Amino acid sequence: MGSGRLTTHVLDTARGQPAAGVGIALFRLAAGRRDRIADARTNADGRTDQPLLQGAGLVIGQYELVFHAGEYLRGSGLVAGDVLFLDEIPIRFGLSNADQHYHVPLLISPFGYSTYRGS
């Protein structure tokens, strides 16, 4: 069994603070399928309370995180309206070693975002 884990956090770069309350869905991609395997919401520190995957649950393969940024941005008062420039933000990535820590942070503002492999 691997000792790795997958974590994330969301930072609001427009307000210079953690993004609390962002909904996140995690999907495993394999054989043309997109299976939803976890849901989470960020806490006051912009992180999830538990790793999204860990131990035996972390399987080598392709994944997608979908951050429900529009819901957060509307709630924070940074944007309004039915059509937003950024709403759901999908990030696809691969996990190649079940013993490593993969951290996928998201930095968001109403009109842009960035991500990277963190530690």
pLDDT-derived band at 1 (thresholds 50, 70, 90) equals low
> Which of 97, 78, 96 is closest to 86 using CA atoms?
78
Note the pLDDT tens digit of each residue in 42-77: 999 999 999 999 999 999 999 999 999 999 999 988
pTM surpassing 0.85?
yes
Q: Which distant-in-sequence residues (6+ apart) come within 8 Å of 16 by Cβ?
A: none
pLDDT digits (tens, 9 = 90+) for 95-114: 999 999 999 999 999 999 99
Domain 5-113 carries which CATH code? 2.60.40.180
Domain ranges of the chain: 5-113
> Over the stretch 69-85, which tens digit does the pLDDT of each residue have?
999 999 988 888 888 89
